[in-house]
Amino acid sequence: MNKSQQAQEVYKIILVGDQGVGKSSILLRYTKDLFQRDYNVTIGLEFASKKVTIQDNALTLQIWDTAGQEAFRSIARSFYRNSAAIIIVFKLTSRESFLSVPQWVKDIQDNSDVGVVISMVGNMSDLEAERTVTNEEAKQKAKEYNALYFETSAATGQNIDDIFINTLEKVSQQNNPIRTNSEQNVRESIHLSQKYTQQNQGKQEQNGGNNSQREANPDKGCC
């Protein structure tokens, strides 16, 4: 395979997890090396891409950030297929978000392709004094699901790159890694994302919601 063919390879990665665990902040830190403590709640899906080189292969990552609210989970499930990897994010300062991990794994197992790589991310490692999930129990949970495990901080940037580099290395080690080479598939995914987002923004407006409202995080930070 020549370099021009390699550059056209697109790997789809999905970020999932409860609302407020820092998925959007991880995406922003990884793709733009930025951090915002206050941020808008994700409505539907958000999308970003990044070109990377893994084991001498030039790849484009298509990274999808999904809304964590229960009402939007059906949207996330529709994007699981053809994903090379799905990354489950929880907060190290929120035991509730950690206890949600098994349900996210079940969603992935029920709706994704065989062979999808699963990674678990314990976010907000900078808030050590407020930690409610131990490193040992999180590693054990990841082991149960044959998942990679990372502890990160989008606020400081700790281990953010490692999530995607190590996850992609595991993807590349598979005999038949899941990849999307078709630009048409990429365009269709983006169009579907925009459609879902517009529909759900309209629903929120009908319900008196304010889409510009900032998400208040009781655990002192989004990341």
- Out of 88-92, 115-119, 177-181, 193-197, pick the least confident: 193-197
CATH code for the domain in which residue 9 is found? 3.40.50.300
Instruction: Flag whether 217 is in a domain.
Output: no
Look at residue 173 and tell me whether its pLDDT is greater than 50: yes
Q: Any idea which residue has 């495990």 for tokens?
A: 149
pTM of the model: 0.79
Beta carbons of 83 and 113 less than 8 angstroms apart: yes
- Domain membership of residue 143 as a residue range: 3-206
Mean pLDDT of 58-71: 81
Lowest mean pLDDT among 31-35, 125-129, 139-143, 178-182: 178-182
Does 112 score more than 80 pLDDT? Answer: yes
Distance, in Å, from the CA atom of 169 to the CA atom of 11, rounded to the nearest integer, reads 12
Please give the average per-residue pLDDT across 142-163, as a whole number.
98
Q: Are 9 and 59 in contact (CB under 8 A)?
A: yes
Residue 15 within a domain: yes
Distant-in-sequence, close-in-space partners of 52: CB < 8 Å, separation ≥ 6: 58, 59, 60, 61, 164, 165, 168
* pLDDT tier at 120, thresholds 50, 70, 90: very high
CA distances from 23 to 53, 157, 159, 178, 180 (A): 23, 13, 14, 22, 23
Residue 222 lies in a domain: no
The count of domains in the chain is 1
161 vs 70: CA distance, rounded Å: 28
